[in-house]
Amino acid sequence: MKNMLVTGGCGFIGANFIRYLLEKSDFDGSVVNVDCLTYAGNPENLSDIEERFPDRYIFVKGDICYKEGMARLFNDYEIDTVCHFAAESHVDRSIVGPAAFIQTNIVGTFNLLELARKNQGRLELFHHISTDEVFGSLGKEGYFTEETAYKPNSPYSASKAASDHLVRAYYKTYDLPVTISNCSNNYGPYQFPEKLLPLMILNAFEGKPLPVYGDGLNVRDWLYVRDHCTAIWTIMKNGKRGETYNIGGDTEMENIRIVEMVCDILDELPVPKRDYPRRELVEFVKDRPGHDRRYAIDFTKLTEELGWMPEESLESGIRKTIKWYLDNQEWVDRVRSGEYQSWIKEQYGQADC
Ligand code: NAD
Ligand code: DAU
C-alpha cells in the first residue's frame, strides 16, 4: 500500500483517518484525498497536514461520480489502495432529500469499483467504510453480527446497504481485493454540528434548546473517532480479503442519557456558568420518521481475529470532544455560518459538488 486514494477525506471521519495515518500509523506511503466539498467537507480540517506533509499528502477537489476525472486520478497517481469514506452521511437529510444519497453512495461507489477493477493489476485493496445502520433496528436484546441480515430503514441506510452489496459482489465476481467495515456512531473532533453529540455540546454550551427526538430512549453504540481510525487501519493491513468486520465501542446508551452526560459535564466545567442545570434545556420534539430503536454491535470477530479493541471510554471520549469544541470556536463559527464555503469558493471556484 503505497499510493492510497482516500475519498471523502475532508469530512469528519476521513479527516481524522488521514491525520492518524500520516501522524501516528506505520503507513509510509502517500495519500491522495479526493473530496468534492459538500456542506460536510472542509479542507481546513487538514490545512496543517497539507503543510507538514507536502510530499505525502495531496488534496484534489473532485466528485467520485465523475468518471473521467476519477479515471485520470487513478492513473496519474498510480493508485494501489482505496479507502472509501465519501458519502452523504446524515439520516435526517436523507429523509428530506434522498437523491444525493443514491447518487453519491450508490452510483459513486459503483464508479470507484469499476475504476478499481480496471486498475486491478495494481490494486492491493479497496476498503469500504459502512455503517451498522444497514442491519436495521434491534429490540431490547441481541447484537448485530457480521451474519445479521440487512434490513435498512432510511434512505441513507438503504443507500449504504446497496453500496456494501456492490463491494461484496465485486469480490465474488471479479476477485477484487476488498474489505468492508460496518461501524457504530462516531463522535470526536471535526464532526459537523448537525449530528447528535456536537449539536448538543454547542447548544448546551450556549444555553439553547436541546431537541431530543421522540421519548429519547433510542439506543446507539458510541465510538470515539480515533478508535474507528485504528480499527480501519488494522483491517486494511491484516483483514482477510472479501471479509466484513463490525466495529463498535461497547458503549450502548440511550440518547437522553448521552445528552444528560453532556449537560452535567458542562455544568461542572469552568465555562460561563448558567444559573440552572443544563438538563433543563432538553426539549422532547417530534420523532424522526422510521427512527431505529436500538443499535448494538458485536465486534468479537475484529477482536479475536485481528486483536483490535476500542481504547476510549465513553466518558473520557465525551470530555475530550467537549474540550475540542470549546477550544475550536473559530472552526465552529466558520462551519455554522457557512463562512468556510465562501472560502472554498474563492480557493476552488465552486462551493459544492
Ligand atoms: P461526513 O458527512 O462528515 O463526510 C463525508 C465527506 O464526503 C465530506 O467531506 C463530503 O464533502 C464528501 N463527499 C460527499 N459526496 C461526495 C462525492 N460525490 N464525491 C466526493 N466527496 C464527496 O461523513 P462521516 O461522518 O465522516 O462519514 C464517513 C463515512 O463513514 C461515510 O461513508 C459514512 O456512511 C460512514 N459512517 C459514518 C459513521 C458516523 O457515525 N459518522 C458511522 C459509521 C459509518
Ligand atoms: O450508526 C452509525 C450512523 O450513525 C452513521 O452511519 C451515520 O452516518 C451517522 O450520522 C449516525 O447516524 P444516527 O442517525 O444514529 O446519528 P445522529 O447523530 O443523527 O443521531 C443519533 C441519535 O440521536 C438518533 O437516535 C437520533 C437522535 N437525535 C439526533 C439529532 C440530530 C436526536 O434525538 N436529536 C437530534 O437533534
Q: What is the pLDDT along the chain (353 residues), one digit of tens a residue?
A: 999 999 999 999 999 999 999 999 999 999 999 999 999 999 999 999 999 999 999 999 999 999 999 999 999 999 999 999 999 999 999 999 999 999 999 999 999 999 999 999 999 999 999 999 999 999 999 999 999 999 999 999 999 999 999 999 999 999 999 999 999 999 999 999 999 999 999 999 999 999 999 999 999 999 999 999 999 999 999 999 999 999 999 999 999 999 999 999 999 998 888 889 999 999 999 999 999 999 999 999 999 999 999 999 999 999 999 999 999 999 999 999 888 788 888 888 766 66
Reported pTM: 0.98
Spacing of C-alpha 333 from chain mean position = 21
- The pLDDT score that the predictor gives to residue 351 is 60
Atom of ligand 1 nearest to the CA of 65: 18
> Which residue blocks in the chain are alpha helix, DSSP H?
12-23, 47-52, 67-76, 91-96, 99-101, 109-118, 155-174, 196-206, 225-238, 255-268, 300-306, 314-327, 329-337, 339-348
Angle at 10 between CA 198 and CA 116, to 5 degrees: 130
Atom of ligand 2 nearest to the CA of 291: 25
Choose one of 17, 19, 89 to mutate for the ligand 1 pocket test, by most ligand atoms within 8 angstroms of C-beta: 89
Positions marked active-site: 132-133, 156
CA dist 71 → 78, 167, 343 (Å): 10, 18, 28
Contact 266, 205 (CB under 8 A): yes
Task: Please work out whether the CB of residue 94 comes within 6 Å of at least one atom of ligand 2.
Answer: no
Instruction: Give CA–CA dist 183/178, Å, rounded.
Output: 16
Contact 306, 234 (CB under 8 A): yes
Choose one of 92, 203, 213, 291 to mutate for the ligand 2 pocket test, by most ligand atoms within 8 angstroms of C-beta: 213
Which residues, 6 or more positions from 272, have their beta carbon under 8 angstroms from its beta carbon?
A: none
- The pLDDT score that the predictor gives to residue 288 is 97
Here the cell at position 119 is 486498475
Query: Of the bound ligands, which one is closest to the alpha carbon of residue 198?
Result: 2
- The 10 Å Cβ neighbour count of residue 190 is 23
> Which residue blocks in 119-268 are alpha helix, DSSP H?
155-174, 196-206, 225-238, 255-268
Atom of ligand 2 nearest to the CA of 183: 2
Q: Give 308-312's long-range contacts (Cβ < 8 A, gap of 24+).
A: 308/230, 308/231, 308/234, 308/235, 308/247, 310/223, 310/224, 310/227, 310/231, 310/248, 310/249, 310/250, 311/224, 311/226, 311/227, 311/230, 312/224, 312/226, 312/227, 312/249
Instruction: Give CA–CA dist 164/129, Å, rounded.
Output: 9
Nearest CA to ligand 2 atom 6: 131
What domains can be seen in the chain, in order of their start residue? 3-188+224-250+293-313 (3.40.50.720)
Instruction: Give CA–CA dist 249/264, Å, rounded.
Output: 22
Task: Please work out whether the CB of residue 344 comes within 6 Å of at least one atom of ligand 1.
Answer: no
Residue 297 per-residue DSSP state: B
Which phi and psi (to 5°) does residue 126 adopt?
-115, 105
